[in-house]
A and B are shown apart, each in its own frame.
Chain A
């Protein structure tokens, strides 16, 4: 298919609308790059909405970090191939700051430990997870856990996979002052979905009814924990209003997927990025890519069929791993799906996974991926850059295990930041 010569050539095409792609688009727009983006978005991409920076090191000993920054300094020594090791600590710090500043301006601030340490949050399984930043709606939960305050945990009839009793009992040995109550959610019945609940709490009437149902159970609790359903867009209002009505602190606890906390991030990006000039091809994929003279690209965009073409001077590949479809595996090996980039991987399939799901060392396949140089350009095993104008960022990168290292969002944001910076230098 020929492309008319009058088609505009953009500065950068970002492939992927997960955490990495969204962060890259944000940074690119902030750098005034003329940006196009494509990818399939679901709130599942943003999962819990927790911002992990670095939570466990070394993975093989399962050491939970209280100070992620000190952990990062150690990681850079211990794992020089790790994508974080290609970055200055200050670059990581800057990337995180820019990212959360954007969210704060979008009226959805995140909260952090006052000394920039990791926070502990409770999960619906009744475990405690280290993370770096939490949505403001979760802040008082982290605080209550730290102080072991007496709390009332609320759950709802019809909301499956979330049991206040499970959380309270599983945590009893670490947090004894938890009470629980199961309520009917006002005006909804049968099976409940968190998104419906969250949307309904945007209305003051629903909050009033909910508060009335909760009030008799508060007794001496100094905070009330809900599943993450406290609004989609006006979370500050919802939280304040409920605290006023209940007279105690209120906080959210993450739920199973899909989550409202993920949905909120997705909505913010989808609203704000176009307003910042990013041209997003929603729910479309890059199906193929031609290399043009001068190192530029022509990308074929669509779903099953090609809908349009985009010309770009540079590409940032943020297409994720197997779930995101940036990588694909068959019985014989692992492949990168779009450019057929070399993929660093175990030499045999029998080396992909351990026989124990929870094996301490983490599954080797999770450290497979695309290797990059210090400018985040994919490179072969000799370190030779394969394409001057192609960058890769996020979970597709080799030599990291974001799941076990608890660094998913941090890695996404920091590497997106670095890739955009390198891209900017190139395009200028």
Chain B
């Protein structure tokens, strides 16, 4: 019997909260087997729980799978090391692909996208805005690709409509005047937070459980089976174990790390993509560049903003990734070629996500990562060379194809458990739950104005999020048996996402949570820091002009006045700076007038 541990040092998040104690604890378990490793003692004196299916990863795949299985009557536990959508599912473009982007590089994925696009528009309409999309080529773009485009599309079941260039510019007045070709496709936008939270809520209503801030840290494998999965609670640092009939590894870019815990090697590489949020919505439709997929090709509208992206950069590990200044510049320059106003637009946030690249080995290092398949990978480890019979890995794919991925995975899980119940997600509507409502830009202000209650004070003035909205979020987080922290509320609302980037609302929210007794002792100081750090990650490469002045105000208040930097411990090793410390003088352009 072997035990594997993730060799990553983990700093417990204050905002983490264990639900393990509250859920059905079956019995105390004291290990009688011989175990390797240093922490074994504390690991095995903990509590443990049982379930039919343990799902590792609370992204769109994991939560979608939980719903699929719950609908088939199975009992699941989802463990997530951070919060829902902390991985790629929270760091993507939100484009419900028509499929046309992959017609050349991956026709199979194009076909899947096309079919799922149609289905999801029917099944989860409340998560989707049917924007439609345009593919546009500008002067100088590859003529051959433009000519082949319609044919390649129809091979994947996609029927693009040729649009006259003049008409295209009438449909989208922001388009550049050197457009040379345009096609309309069935792109749409999808809110990944809503999607995951609704999927999870639906599964929870049927008895499944979500454990946030719980990291899978080890596995006990015996006779080709995972006996127990060891989970570390982020708040207490304590471990407990979960016994499951089947373990599904839905940890996105982290599947290699998780599989290694079961002694299985999965060759992986990681590709980071960065995205920018523009303050205004610059188009009604999704705008794609009509060329073989490259950096900065897509402009996706979302509510009142537009999102520009993306890039593709190899990174050594899926953690500690940041959108970088050079990516920002590249994306702006490329997107501005399609829509010139983007050269001078204000950007409010940058973020990034990691794509897992499967099975291309290190030999492919020189290849463009974009040509690697965007299809998904479902691995039945009962058939792996190193056989683990109750272990399944699902990764890759797209947000657009999450349902299909979940369905195929659930089919496999059911076969393993000899359960015959058929999947229902192909026909059943995804219910709209309260949980995800407040991430929608504009909703909070509408409700607040309609309510017109002078005592319902706005905590976030930029996005008009009031105390009563926060109270609702607090309650819905408490329903998950968790303590509502600043970051959790940030994830579920637009707090901190307006132009002030959290300067004012962070402290207001902290004060409010103290008053409502959700924060104790100096928890709030650490939570303030973490909330602001999280916002900063996305602002830091975008700081010029007005946002730079805003950042100065933020630092003046939170460091100048509150001194929050004093005694702040570096998290994630980010304090080791590799930035260029060289200074120069700006060129003097002569005296003004």
Chain A interface residues toward B at CB < 8 A: 44, 47-48, 50, 56, 62, 64, 123-130, 158, 160-163, 165-166, 169-173, 182, 189-191, 254, 256-257, 288-291, 321-323, 325, 328-331, 333-335, 338-361, 363-368, 371, 380-381, 386, 402-404, 406, 408
Contacts and interface: CB of A to CB of B under 8 A. Distances in A.
A160 B571 CA distance: 29
Contacts of B20: none
B525 A127 contact: yes
B552 A322 contact: yes
B512 interface: yes
Given A127-B525, A363-B555, A403-B560, 9 more contacts: A44-B553, A56-B566, A125-B558, A126-B522, A189-B455, A345-B584, A346-B581, A350-B579, A352-B543
Interface string B489-529: 00000000000000010011011101100011110110011
A254 B581 contact: no
Contacts of A191: 454-455, 457-458
Contact of B511 (A161, A341, A404): A161
Given A166-B511, A330-B544, A355-B322, A346 B559 contact: no
A356 B574 contact: yes
8 contacts: A125-B564, A160-B511, A322-B549, A330-B544, A351-B582, A357-B558, A365-B548, A403-B559
Nearest to A189: B454
Contacts of A325: 549
A359 B574 contact: yes
Max count, chain B CB within 10 A of own CB: residue among A48, A290, A335, A358: A358
A147 B529 CA distance: 29
Interface of B: 322, 324-326, 329, 332, 454-455, 457-459, 504, 507-508, 510-512, 514-515, 519-522, 524-525, 528-529, 532-533, 536-537, 540-541, 543-545, 548-549, 551-553, 555-568, 570-571, 574-575, 577, 579-593
Nearest to A325: B549
Given A288-B593, A289-B592, A169 B582 contact: no
Contact of A170 (B325, B521, B586, B588): B521
A342 B587 contact: yes
A158 B568 CA distance: 31
Contacts of A190: 454-455, 457
Given A343-B586, A346-B583, A256 B454 contact: no
A345 B580 CA distance: 11
Nearest to A169: B521
A126 B580 contact: no
Max count, chain A CB within 10 A of own CB: residue among B457, B567, B581, B590: B457
Contact of A173 (B454, B521, B588, B591): B521
A407 to B, nearest CB: 10
B575 to A, nearest CB: 6
B325 A350 contact: yes
Interface of A is mostly: loop
A345 B511 CA distance: 37
A254 to B, nearest CB: 7
Contacts of B524: 125-126, 166, 169-170
A349 B561 contact: no
Contacts of A288: 592-593
A339 B591 contact: yes
A355 B459 contact: no
A162 B511 contact: yes
Contacts of B593: 288-290
Nearest to A367: B583
B444 to A, nearest CB: 16
Contact of B519 (A161, A169, A322, A361): A169
A47 B561 contact: yes
A342 B591 CA distance: 11
Nearest to B532: A357
A44 B553 CA distance: 9
B532 to A, nearest CB: 6
Nearest to B325: A350
Contact of B575 (A44, A356, A363): A356
Contact of A353 (B525, B543, B589): B543
Contact of B507 (A161, A351, A386): A161
Contacts of B563: 123, 127-130, 406
Contacts of A127: 525, 562-564, 566
Max count, chain A CB within 10 A of own CB: residue among B515, B529, B582, B593: B515
Contact of A125 (B525, B568, B571, B590): B525
Contacts of B586: 333-335, 342-343, 345
Contacts of A289: 592-593
Contact of B512 (A160, A290, A349): A160
Contacts of B504: 161, 256-257
Contacts of B454: 189-191
A288 B585 CA distance: 22
A190 B455 CA distance: 5
Max count, chain A CB within 10 A of own CB: residue among B325, B563, B570, B575: B563
B40 to A, nearest CB: 34
A381 B585 contact: yes
Contacts of B553: 44, 323
B562 A129 contact: yes
Contact of B592 (A125, A160, A322, A339): A339
Nearest to B461: A160
Max count, chain B CB within 10 A of own CB: residue among A163, A190, A289: A163
Given A126-B524, A329-B544, A348-B580, A323 B511 contact: no
A190 B452 CA distance: 11
Contact of B583 (A182, A368, A402): A368
Leading 8 A-B pairs by shortest Cβ distance: A190-B454, A163-B511, A166-B514, A357-B536, A358-B568, A351-B580, A350-B325, A322-B549
A330 B555 contact: no
A48 B515 contact: no
Contacts of A44: 553
Contact of B549 (A123, A323, A340): A323
A345 B585 contact: yes
A124 B563 CA distance: 11
B512 A126 contact: no
Contacts of B587: 342
Contacts of A344: 583-585
Contacts of A321: 552
Nearest to B566: A62
B577 A361 contact: yes
A358 B507 contact: no
Contacts of B514: 163, 165-166, 169
B510 A354 contact: no
B548 A322 contact: yes
Contacts of B511: 124, 160-163, 166
A331 B564 contact: no
Given A191-B457, A353-B543, A166 B584 contact: no
A406 B580 CA distance: 25
A403 B556 contact: yes
B525 A346 contact: no
Contacts of A347: 580, 582-584
A105 to B, nearest CB: 27
Contacts of A404: 559, 565
Contacts of B564: 125, 127, 358
B585 A343 contact: yes
Contacts of B543: 329, 352-353, 365
Contacts of B584: 344-347
Nearest to B563: A129
B344 to A, nearest CB: 10
A238 to B, nearest CB: 23
Contacts of A323: 549, 552-553, 556
A249 to B, nearest CB: 24
A160 B510 CA distance: 10
Contacts of B544: 329-331, 349
Contact of B570 (A343, A356, A367, A380): A356
Contacts of B507: 124-125, 161, 256
